[in-house]
Amino acid sequence: MTDLRNAPGRLAASRPPGVPGRGTAGRRRVAALACVPLIAVAAAGCGDTGGAGGDSAAVKYPTRTIQLMAPAAPGGGWDSTARAMQKTLTDGKLVTESVEVTNVTGAGGTLGLSQLVTKNKGDAHHLMVTGLVMIGGVVTNKSPVNLGQTTPIATLTAEQEVVVVPANSKYQTLQELMADAKANPGSINWGGGSAGGTDQILVGLLAKAAGADPKAMKYVAYSGGGESKAALLSGDLTAAVSGASEYADLVAGGQVRALAVSGATGIDVGAGKPAPTIKESGYDVELMNWRGVVAAPGISDGERAAIIELVDKLHASEQWKQTLAAQKWDDFYRSGDEAKAYFDQESKRITDVLTEIGLAG
């Protein structure tokens, strides 16, 4: 599976950071004039001075190519988020500079995270797509760096999770399934994505809410969406957990039944009518597989404000709304301090549940 990794962008990104800045600085207008000499000399751009100067609104951003890192292979959720952002920013003329997407693959995104925190520290032109999965990755991989060390910018999108059983399963509702999971945990074979990922987190949260022991849940991890699908169809699994859209065709085709979705409101996952939420099924669990964006640590307040403003504009644009609709992503926008608070709150919740499952040891 791993030969998906690549990053054409990164080759291009390896040129000295000052060079593109100098070439484009000449085209900057009045607001940026003060920065020009600085860009030519120092790669860090004019942000540092702008922030120190007091008036954060005066920071001109971006002053050169934005490096947007997708900490996973092309084709996945983070990559498509990054590329959708790139397209919206450049097509919508929200930035005059270019945006480059780079893929840094590995270790649940924590390899990319450690690169952003260590190598790109203080450089406001380095952004990274992140999400719930990375929080899990930090915990399970015992990553030396965590999301709290970055500069939070915004959460952008989210996808609901779905709990499915084969069509011939005896379970018609989530309650029936969870009742058995509580009474006889060994009888339920749960399956989903990688260990410590969103799917297993949801199983852990569900078990907790149902009064079962999260550690006793038998969860079998599969790489990629396909393997767990095959395992559910072959009868290896009692129930599978996955992103809501993943099973749409099998649900529509009648091979698989959706028991519940994990968001605040029920959505149609293929059956032609909205599936009930986990909350409606009687368990106080809500889990969104959200994705967002962070900036490198150590940037000035002015730079942070400017990036947030840019992402605000991205979110408000018509093209972004179209992208959300086309990709079936929920709008899940929180920016600035709200995003920071959300990151912190999710980090705690996820770390707690993974500890209870026994994956954070």
**Residues at the site binding another protein, with contacts judged by CB under 8 A:** 1-8, 10, 73-76, 80, 83, 101, 103-107, 110-111, 114, 140-143, 186, 189, 194-196, 218, 220-227, 229-231, 233-237, 245, 248-250, 252-253, 255, 326, 359
> Closer to another protein at the Cβ: 193 or 302?
193
Cα–Cα dist 336/132, whole Å: 17
Q: CB-wise, 220 or 305, nearer to another protein?
A: 220
Q: What is the end-to-end Cα distance of the chain in Å, rounded?
A: 27
Three-class secondary structure of residue 6 per DSSP: coil
| Least Å from the CB of residue 247 to another protein | 9
Question: Rounded to the nearest whole angstrom, what is the least distance from the CB of residue 265 to another protein in the complex?
Answer: 22
CB closer to another protein out of 174 and 237: 237
Tell me how far apart the alpha carbons of residues 351 and 196 are, in angstroms, rounded to a whole number: 10
Give least dist CB 101 to another protein, A.
8
Q: How far apart are CA 5 and CA 106, in angstroms?
A: 9
Strand partners, 147: none
Of 37 and 358, nearer to another protein (C-beta) is 358
- Output 22 or 218, the one with its CB closest to another protein: 218
DSSP letter (8 states) at residue 277? B
The dihedral of CA 119, 122, 124, 129: what is its sign?
A: positive
Q: What is the spatial distance between Cα 40 and Cα 21, in angstroms, rounded to a whole number?
A: 7
C-alpha to C-alpha distance for 31 and 33, rounded to whole angstroms: 6
In the block, which residue shows the tokens 């954060």?
Answer: 56
Closest approach of Cβ 215 to another protein, in Å? 12
Task: Give min distance, CB of 144 to another protein, in A.
Answer: 8
Q: What is the DSSP string of 320-337?
A: HHHHHHHHTPEEEEEETH
Min separation Cβ 130 and another protein, Å: 16
Nearer to another protein, 147 or 359 (CB): 359
Q: Residue 228: helix, strand or coil by DSSP?
A: helix
- Nearest approach, Cβ of 319 to another protein (angstroms)? 13
Q: Report which of 206, 341, 220 is spatially closest to residue 287, judged by C-alpha positions.
A: 206
Smaller CB separation from another protein, 24 or 245: 245
